[in-house]
Structure 1
């Protein structure tokens, strides 16, 4: 069966087009579903963003995106897979998702940065989707407290922008995100 929600691609789109496409794409209303907790899913997401089920790696990216679409972060920081009828725990080692590409428009305080996320979504780095550092590793909030780590090439691209500013950091959507001192 073909995937009904293909991933949003950044290439060839303006940031306004990316932002509009992200709103249209949306996702399931996992924040409104409150089913009974059913146990553990037998799944985990490792530090590199790879998904595993009962010790076997899930290789199909479309299947990973499907599971990611019903992923929710609970108030206690744990992660669950949730549907209207069940809620299952899932272990997350660092971040549930990965930032796989980026693009930007503008310079300095007028810059906007867009990220393509491994769950097929795209976000604009801003106050609602902030960048923070944990033990020197960059994490971006994608939705509902779910965070994404950056693939190495994206991290290098972002760091190159950050090092051009003094103090090191990046502006996006009128918000400055400082980089930690080394």
Structure 2
């Protein structure tokens, strides 16, 4: 039986998003310590596309499943882990992409939530911070998802954040979410 479709992000309140994010039970990958078994022949491209043996994985349900067993190791590597095996996976930038933003409130009272390319929902707060890097090709904004893993924020979503920051008239420019302030300048 196929999994039910994800809820329509546009029609969810931030309260609904926070509840759904808390209800989602992920496997306890941080507690699993199996033997390393090699490489998975998988790669996550910068745009969030998952590949296996060079071909894109076309079934989003498979990508969602694999994303739940993804873990970042202390040395920075990413692995797919189960209770009995651990396989390396190449990640070009970040393992997730934040593709949609929802905002409620203004200024310090604002709350921001993001939908990832895997349909996971993340509310920006002190535990799920935003950070901004400046690179030669322009700014790179990131959202902390879990366990040291981040989502690269899609350009269109970054533009929305920039508009919010300009409207805040803060110095330095930045955005508020759930009581935390995130300056939009590189750390």
Residue 175 of structure 1 corresponds to: 180
1:53-92 Cα distance to aligned partner (Å, 9 max, x none): 1111112111111111110011111100001110000011
TM-score by length of 2: 0.91
1:14-66 Cα distance to aligned partner (Å, 9 max, x none): 21111011111221111111111100001111111111111111121111111
Residue 150 of structure 1 corresponds to: 153
Matches within 5 A, 1:27-176: 27-134=26-133, 135=135, 136-165=139-168, 166-167=170-171, 168-176=173-181
Between 68-77 and 149-158, report the one with greater CA deviation. 149-158
Aligned-pair CA distance for 1:119: 2.2
CA distance in 1, matches of 2:8, 2:145: 16
Aligned-pair CA distance for 1:9: 3.6
Residue 2 of structure 2 corresponds to: 2
TM-score by length of 1: 0.93
Residue 21 of structure 2 corresponds to: 22
**Unpaired segments of 5 or more residues in structure 1?**
none
- Tell me the matched-pair count: 180
**Unpaired segments of 5 or more residues in structure 2?**
none
